[in-house]
Structure 1
């Protein structure tokens, strides 16, 4: 199971725009790093926790999303698509992965950073969550997208952020999905029309300047 891009050539040809996020106007979105997705998320935990720490040290707000459905909710077309395999609120699978929670808690002991958990019930972190209003209130103009799954919730959220007027930065090493093919397909699409691609090294460069 490939969670990071091992072959950069497939999407590098589309990465013709280069920019680094401005820590003064950015927020980090950490998408659905929950126990339900642990097999996909575990390999990128080092990159995720590094990204969180870099952003928190730069005083960038952290928005953690948690996908969940109320017990008895059939999930509509999402539930139909995944044959009823939904993340039910209140179950261990719905909770954030311990390492992610610990990374946030450990850093907030030394940094004063706004951390918010947004609960959602579809691929987009913007749908019926109040996320856009929250970001506007904080003066956020740019979002950095990380988490799982690259080609589903992360990509949908990135695209929707773009059409809502946010500048989008998408992590290549702190996002993951079930195959390299799907991961890189998203990177191609986003680099072509929606997002600047970043990784832990480029974020370190941006926030150390």
Structure 2
């Protein structure tokens, strides 16, 4: 809120904070709450959350970063995951931001040394091979 102010920030439990309705059918049900990040309040999903512990506890070594905004939360989290020794997949069509220029700049930077850029279709195909 320091940067954007209360009006332009996403407040916890607000409509903008909730999971997109298109993703609701895929959200974990009847799982312990420790599998969800309950208090993300910075661009970096790892900072001041238990995400790293959750991933390590479940022997996860790779992450797929999707969401908004490409150049803020998504890029920051991807860099943070890389710095924590996770292999990072970043679907170019699975992230969005205010402009094509900002989106493309983040993709270019991440591709150069932090993440394997890919598409959602490629991620889906790879996951199907695992099951």
Alpha-carbon shift at residue 95 of structure 1 (Å):
1.8
Aligned counterpart, 1:82: 4
CA distance in 1, matches of 2:71, 2:77: 10
Alpha-carbon shift at residue 120 of structure 1 (Å):
0.3
**Deviations 1:158-202, CA, capped at 9 Å, x for gaps:** 000000111111011111111110010010000001000111221
Q: What is the aligned residue count?
A: 126
Off by >6 Å, runs of 4+ in structure 1: none
Aligned counterpart, 1:103: 26
Give secondary structure in 2 for the equivalent of 1:173: coil
CA distance in 1, matches of 2:123, 2:107: 17
Aligned counterpart, 1:190: 110
Aligned counterpart, 2:77: 157
**Deviations 1:105-152, CA, capped at 9 Å, x for gaps:** 6xx7xxx9xx93213000000011111011000000111111111110
The alignment status of 1:170 with 2:90, answered yes or no, reads yes
The alignment status of 1:92 with 2:15, answered yes or no, reads yes
Query: Larger RCO: Structure 1 or Structure 2 (Cα < 8 Å, ≥ 6 residues apart)?
Result: 1
**Structure with the bigger percentage of strand:** 1
Alpha-carbon shift at residue 91 of structure 1 (Å):
2.7
CA distance in 2, matches of 1:100, 1:182: 25
CA distance in 1, matches of 2:3, 2:128: 44
Give the TM-score, by structure 2 length: 0.84
Give the TM-score, by structure 1 length: 0.55
Aligned counterpart, 2:36: 117
Unaligned runs of 5+ in 1: 1-78
Q: Is the 8 A contact 2:35 2:54 kept in 1?
A: no
RMSD over aligned Cα atoms: 2.3
Unaligned runs of 5+ in 2: none
